Amino acid sequence: MTDVLTIDNVSVNFGGVKALSDVSFGLRPAEVLGLIGPNGAGKTTLLNTISGIAPLAGGDVRADGVSLAGMRPFRITRRGIARTFQIVRPFAHLTVAENAAVGATFASHARPSREEAVARAFEALAQVGLTAKADALPHQLTLSERKRLELARALAMKPRILLLDEVMAGLNLAEVEPIIELVRGLARSGLSIILVEHVMKAVMSTCDRIVVLQFGRKIAEGTPEQIASDRNVIEAYLGQRFAERRAREAAGRTA
């Protein structure tokens, strides 16, 4: 199976600091790939590199075999790569529908008409369950709704590859569950997704594979089951209690 996105020995420097060092992995079609690790591990930096915000110091990023190195962010977006941001900043004076339409407006080589952009926006709002709030302003939304608006804006771009940066951070369990189901549904529809997340319930139940970063380096890659039992990952990030709980849950399922 040919990867839709290839991260090939990627390195990124900020001054004299190596933020990423020789990171490599691939993203498969219709796959949810988790990207986890401690704060400062380089997860958001990697998303910034894929989307053209952070320049490469070494290596390459390729989408369908085409190098994205040096490509401007809007051109990367037009190749079908959309992303959300960890800190949600919608346009405060635009309605929910208008915010979503921004994604549709700037994601195509041929700028769509206003009617087409609005239609895409409402399609995306329906996907994330925000149609009823289309005329609201961002300050009238809950944190969970603002997170879903961020996702709707990315979906309005009609991407093939979706980069999600902590779309569940700060949400309670009742708010996380619908987003887990939404991400699963997007993958079933054919989207390839990289999910950066600290909510381990979401990562372990949503992702097909997981890549683990520590200090800018990849320390593990595998299925959720493999990652949950990897001694290096347990010591660096997950912790022994998490590993023991996962082991008890697995034993309960096989009993």
Three-class DSSP labels, 178-220 = HHHHHHHHHHHCCCEEEEECCCHHHHHHHCCEEEEEECCEEEE
The mean per-residue pLDDT over the stretch 27-31 comes to 97
What is the pLDDT, as a whole number, of residue 253? 66
In the chain, beta strands by DSSP E: 5-14, 17-27, 32-36, 58-63, 66-67, 81-83, 161-165, 192-196, 209-214, 217-222
Domain ranges (residues) in the chain = 5-80+159-254, 89-158
Kind of pairing between the strands at 66-67 and 58-63: antiparallel
Least confident of 31-40, 71-80, 102-111, 117-126: 102-111
Kind of pairing between the strands at 161-165 and 81-83: parallel
Helix (H, G, I), strand (E, B) or coil at 23: strand
Contact 50, 35 (CB under 8 A): no
Answer whether residue 251 shows pLDDT above 80. Answer: no
Answer whether residue 76 shows pLDDT above 70. Answer: yes
Sorted by sequence, the CB contacts under 8 Å of residue 77 that are 6+ apart come out as 51, 106, 107, 157
What is the pLDDT, as a whole number, of residue 201? 87
pLDDT one-digit tens code per residue, 167-181: 999 999 899 999 999
Given CATH 3.40.50.970, say whether it is the number of domain 5-80+159-254: no
